[in-house]
Every structure is written in C-alpha cells, then in structure tokens.
Amino acid sequence: MQFDEILKKTEYTESNKPNLKDYESAYNSFDWNDDGYSRLEWLSDGGLNNAYESIDKHVAKGFGDKLSMIWIGKNGEEEKYTYSDFKEESDKFAQVMIKLGMEKGDRVFIFMDRLPELYFAAMGILKAGGIIAPLFSAFGPDPVKDRMLDAGATYLITSPDLRNKISSIIPDIKTLKNIVVINKDNRQKESLVKGDLDYYELMKKVKSSEFSIVNTSQYDFAIMHYTSGSTGKPKGVLHRHQAVVQQLLTGHWALDLRPGDMYFCTADPGWVTGTSYGMIAPWTNGVTQIIYEGGFGASAWYEIIEKYKVDVWYTAPTAIRLLMRAGEDVVKKYDLSSLRFIGSVGEPLNPEAVVWGNRNYKMPIHDNWWQTETGAIMCANFSSNKIKPGSMGKPIPGVTMGILDDEYNEIETDKSGILAVRPGWPSQMYAYWQQDEMYNSRFKKGWYITGDQASCDKEGYFWFQGRADDVINTAGHLVGPFEVESALIEHPAVAEAGVIGKPDPIAMEIVKAFVTLNPDYEQTNDLRRELIRFAREKLSAGVAPREIDFLDTMPKTRSGKIMRRLLKARELGEPEGDISTLEDD
Ligand code: AMP
C-alpha cells in the first residue's frame, strides 16, 4: 500500500531523517477507509471490538507469548503477563459479567487503583459488550455519585478501601445491580460488605477460559469518560469501538510505538489518556506496557526507565515541570539511554521543557494535543517533524483542524481564534450521555468546536493560546468550576461560591474559590481551613480549592450568574473588561 511505503520513509531513525515534504505526501494521500480501517482485524461476522484488537489479535497471530504488561506495585511487587495470560483473564471476566446479567451497552464503572485486575476487568467488560466508565481513584464520594447517577451505572468494580470511601452514596445508585470487589493479595483489611461479590471467587467459578466475543459493531459504544464544562455537572463522553483505528494509528505515528517496545504511560485510566494511550493504543500496537501503581516520583520513574529499558515514555507537562524541579543531578544518576521517544499531553508544554529535555534526555519532548471528546491524538509533534518548541505540532493524517472567528468562519494564519476540527474522525465522541442539546451545541457550520483558542502558522503548526471557557486545567486535569461551587455551597457557612483557575508555575492552574458567608459566620482562617477540608473530602485533593478568599458580595450579572471572569481579572490585577451586566451591589 502506498501509504505504508510513505510511512516507512517517514519513520525517523538514525539513518533516515525524513523531511517535511515526505511527511506532507503521506498526509495528502491518507484516507481512513483505505488506510485506516483496513488495518483492523474485523470479527468474523463483520463486527469490531477494541479489546479483540488490543489483546486477542496478537494471540491469534501467534504472539501470545509476548509480554503485554509488567505491573509494578507500590510496594515494589512485580508481575508479568503475556498476551495469552491477558486474553485468558479477560475472557474469564467477560464470562463473569455475562453470568451476572450484564447486557450490551450497560455502563460498568471501574473505581480502582492501577492493578492488573483493573485491566483484565476492563478488557473483559468490552469483550462482553459493556461500556467501561473508569473513574479516578482519588475522587471522593460526590464526583463518584454524580457520575454513576447520571450514567445509570449497573455495575461497579472496585477495591475494599475505595468501596469503603464511597459507601455512603451506594444506596443512592438505584440502578446498581452488583459491586465486584477486588482485594488483591488480601492487601486490605476491610471485609467484604454483605451483598458485594468477590472478584477471585467469581473468577474461580468460570470453567472455560475461552470466550466468544459478543457481537459488537464499530458503532457500539465502548468507553465513557466524564469531562467538565463551565456550566452544569460533568458530561459523559461516549466513544465507539471504532475509535480503536485512530488509537492504533496515532500510537504508531504520534508516539512512535513499534511491536515489542517497552512503553511507559504515566496517566491513570480515570482520565482519557489512561485508556486511549494507557490501554488501547499501546496494546493494539503490540508493545509491553509498564503499569506503575505508584504516583509521581523523579527517582522512581527514572529507575523504571533504566531497569525496564523503556523505549517510549508518554507523560504530562506538570510532571515534566516537577522533573525539571527535581534537577539535572537526579537525571545523571540513571541510564536513560534506552529512550527513543518522549511524548507529552494535557497542557501546554513550555518551550523551556523541550530545551531541557534535549539537554537532559538527549531528545526533545514531543507535545501533542487532544481532548476527551476527540478520543485520540489530533495534533502532534511527530518524530519525523521539525519541532518548534511551544507548538503542539501538526494535525495527524486524516484530521482537518481550523482556526475560526466568532462567526465560525476560518481565519488567516498566525491569528488567534477558536480551535475547531472537521467532524468524522473515527475516535470522535458520538454523544454526551443523555445531553443531546449540549452535544449538538459543540458543532457549528460543519466544525466541531473544541473549547480551546489557538493559532496556526504558515507552515501548518498549531499553537495553543488558552481555553475559551471557564474550565480550569490543573495538572492536566480539567475541573469544572460549577462542580466545585456546588460542593462548597453544601457547607452551612457558605452562601455563594465562585471558582476560578489561578495561574501556577507547576500545575499550570490551581483551583481558587471565592465565597460569601451566611449570617452568623465569620471570615476566619479556621473557617477557611475547614472549607478546604470539607471540599477535599467531598471531591478529592486535586479538585478541591487550594485557596479560598472571603468576599462580602459576589459579583453577579443581573440575571444572577456569578461573574467568574471578573473574579479572575480582579485576582490577577487585570482590567475588569465589560461589566455592564454587573448586578448593582
Ligand atoms: P481533557 O478532555 O481532560 O483531556 O482535556 C483536554 C484539554 O486539555 C484541551 O481542550 C486543552 O485545553 C488541554 N490540552 C490538552 N493537550 C494540550 C496541549 N498539548 N497543549 C495545550 N493544552 C492542551
């Protein structure tokens, strides 16, 4: 196939350093149908299943004994699983779910730390036709409740400690049929709550390890992630099985994944990077994936890269800034020469980080851009492209991106405007769960409106400028101000709350709240601390405000909307802009 040949030519190696021209020709000849979907292993009845593409395909092709996953526990444990092991475990769990009565399209929530069983369960649910909805394990009860209620969750897969953390909200989820609890190696002392099911007991009862995949089609929904907007509660973004084609191809093109590579992605499956590039993209590309249960740690991460000879490392700007802060001396203690490619996503990558990467890792850090709704990388600095530090690169083949004015017409190069994408890419979201109006509002004049502002230069490189809405990006995670405001006003002292993102040198933004108090409450430091603690327990440390200021009156429009823009301008000492709609005090 012509495209394959061009791709080969554009693969970046020591002896082959392709230029932009080679790349452009690959680009212009691309067609999803001819060059994308034809690479998939369709099911015998013409269906498509992303778990089959990720795992079973390799076993069917005779690569079952290749390593799919090396798990490193937070206490230093190590477990290794081949693709055959993975197929067997996920086949078994698929049968467990079928036996429990799970039906095609059921929303199954996974609320767990990064354990091998999380991945077995996820692939098993997908094979059995369910929709997986992974949640970040640091969440407190409120975000879990909002999401499970909204989605009408039917099953929950969790661990004893996390089950315990959210026990109070379980009776509210009336649609919930079963809770499956995984107490790996009996690490946790909590005993099984009456009515819950033990994962290992259920798995033991499965007699055959072979499972015939449920007849999912490319159009069936497979993965659901909640994402925040500036108004209302988070929305459930639904992706189809067909997203796998874009995850497979971008894994190869944008992250340079090759079969047999050792790959380390630091994202958690509670966020879209942790599923698209922490599950589907790496495994469809036949790599061995490192799953590290622990969190950030400069030495711990470098040790992993050295010990397991990691080829490709995919991480995020906040982590890179923390690594920069940890210093060059730490880097020098480790042999990182196995690294071939480093990618970054989630926030703008500072140009200094690219330069720092060049000096310390002997290669640039490749920034790429995408979001929960796009399901896969859309714009990237490819290994074969010249990198312009600070740019998020060029759209991947098959994707058309544009910069629009306020009337949704394309504008000239080098001008800042609305970042938009032509709909129809395979990993596009196809619904916000039961929010059609909101979903439709994201499409204008034949474009999908991303919610970001950007510009595009004459050479076709895109430059991120900022969010077009009030959504806060803290350490690469989007936080909807409304969710935080709702939690704060549940405290008896709080009358009104307005939440903004305050610039921060490491996390890009931190969550900052302004509150007015009910009568009989005083603006004290004790109350401030109490409110932060209250929000942390309800939400999670990452989502709760790090700073709270008291106000005597909240700036609002005459129609009663809190003017977050004004709160932010005042916080930053910037001009207040148009305040003609401001309510009189
Ligand atoms: P999420 O949907 O949570 O994955 O967040 C997506 C949002 O993160 C995007 O709409 C951007 O605002 C931001 N983002 C993601 N990648 C980048 C990047 N490479 N540069 C700048 N912002 C980014």
Q: Of all protein residues, whose CA lies closest to atom 10 belonging to ligand 1?
A: 371
Q: Give the Å distance between the CA of 346 and the centre of ligand 1.
A: 4
Sign of CA dihedral 213, 214, 218, 223: negative
Q: What's the pLDDT at 2? A: 56
- pLDDT of residue 20 exceeding 80: no
Place of tokens 């809405």: 469
Cα dist. 78→73, 286, 306 in Å?
6, 20, 15
Dist. CA 493–CA 506, nearest whole Å: 31
* Best of 347, 379, 455, 467 for a ligand 1 pocket test (most atoms within 8 Å of beta carbon): 347
- pLDDT of residue 160 exceeding 60: yes
Q: Of all protein residues, whose CA lies closest to atom 5 belonging to ligand 1?
A: 371
- pLDDT of residue 167 exceeding 80: yes
How many residues make up the chain in this entry? 585
Q: Of all protein residues, whose CA lies closest to atom 20 belonging to ligand 1?
A: 348
Mean pLDDT over residues 126-145, rounded?
97
In the 3-class helix/strand/coil scheme, how is 124-166 assigned residue by residue? HHHHCCCEEEEECCCCCHHHHHHHHHHHCCCEEEECHHHHHHC
Domain 472-572: which topology? GMP Synthetase; Chain A, domain 3 (3.30.300)
pLDDT digits (tens, 9 = 90+) for 47-63: 999 999 999 999 999 99
Q: Of all protein residues, whose CA lies closest to atom 21 belonging to ligand 1?
A: 348
Tokens in use for 376?
Answer: 């896969």
Place of tokens 């896969």: 376
Q: Of all protein residues, whose CA lies closest to atom 6 belonging to ligand 1?
A: 371
Mean pLDDT over residues 117-121, rounded?
98
Q: Give the Å distance between the CA of 477 and the centre of ligand 1.
A: 8
In this prediction, residue 568 has a pLDDT band, given cuts at 50, 70 and 90, of very high
- pLDDT of residue 585 exceeding 60: no
Structural domain boundaries in the chain: 472-572
pLDDT digits (tens, 9 = 90+) for 462-511: 999 988 888 999 999 999 998 899 899 999 999 999 999 999 999 999 99
Q: Which residues sit with their C-beta closer than 6 Å to ligand 1?
A: 227, 272, 345-348, 367-369, 371-372, 392, 450-452, 464, 467, 473, 478
pLDDT digits (tens, 9 = 90+) for 172-204: 999 999 999 999 999 988 889 999 999 999 999
Dist. CA 427–CA 273, nearest whole Å: 13
Q: Of all protein residues, whose CA lies closest to atom 8 belonging to ligand 1?
A: 346
- pLDDT of residue 582 exceeding 80: no
Q: Give the Å distance between the CA of 97 and the centre of ligand 1.
A: 34
Q: Of all protein residues, whose CA lies closest to atom 16 belonging to ligand 1?
A: 346
Q: Give the Å distance between the CA of 512 and the centre of ligand 1.
A: 20
Q: Considering the chain, what percentage of its residues have pLDDT values greater than 70?
A: 97
Least confident span in 9-13, 301-305, 509-513, 545-549: 9-13
In this prediction, residue 246 has a pLDDT band, given cuts at 50, 70 and 90, of very high
Q: Give the Å distance between the CA of 378 and the centre of ligand 1.
A: 11
- pLDDT of residue 209 exceeding 70: yes
Which atom of ligand 1 lies closest to the CA of 466? 12
Helical (H) or strand (E) element with 180? strand 178-181
* Best of 235, 272, 275, 345 for a ligand 1 pocket test (most atoms within 8 Å of beta carbon): 345
Q: Give the Å distance between the CA of 447 and the centre of ligand 1.
A: 18
Q: Give the Å distance between the CA of 486 and the centre of ligand 1.
A: 24
> What average pLDDT is seen over the chain?
93
Q: Give the Å distance between the CA of 4 and the centre of ligand 1.
A: 30
Q: What's the pLDDT at 415? A: 95
In this prediction, residue 237 has a pLDDT band, given cuts at 50, 70 and 90, of very high
Which atom of ligand 1 lies closest to the CA of 464? 21
Q: Give the Å distance between the CA of 370 and the centre of ligand 1.
A: 6
Q: Of all protein residues, whose CA lies closest to atom 4 belonging to ligand 1?
A: 371
Dist. CA 479–CA 424, nearest whole Å: 27
pLDDT digits (tens, 9 = 90+) for 338-379: 999 999 999 999 889 989 999 999 999 999 999 999 999 999
Q: Give the Å distance between the CA of 86 and the centre of ligand 1.
A: 31
Higher pLDDT residue, 556 or 232?
A: 556
* Best of 314, 365, 473, 474 for a ligand 1 pocket test (most atoms within 8 Å of beta carbon): 473
- pLDDT of residue 1 exceeding 70: no
Q: What's the pLDDT at 584? A: 60
Q: Give the Å distance between the CA of 450 and the centre of ligand 1.
A: 10
**Count of CB atoms within 10 A of residue 307's CB?**
15
Helical (H) or strand (E) element with 235? strand 235-240
**Count of CB atoms within 10 A of residue 358's CB?**
14
Q: Of all protein residues, whose CA lies closest to atom 23 belonging to ligand 1?
A: 347
Higher pLDDT residue, 127 or 232?
A: 127
Q: What's the pLDDT at 472? A: 95
- pLDDT of residue 580 exceeding 80: no
- State the pTM of this model: 0.93
Q: Of all protein residues, whose CA lies closest to atom 9 belonging to ligand 1?
A: 371
pLDDT digits (tens, 9 = 90+) for 405-454: 999 999 999 999 999 999 999 999 999 999 999 999 999 999 999 999 99
Q: Give the Å distance between the CA of 104 and the centre of ligand 1.
A: 31
- pLDDT of residue 456 exceeding 80: yes
* Best of 273, 452, 456 for a ligand 1 pocket test (most atoms within 8 Å of beta carbon): 452
CA atoms within 13 Å, Cβ hemisphere of 101: 6
Q: What's the pLDDT at 383? A: 87
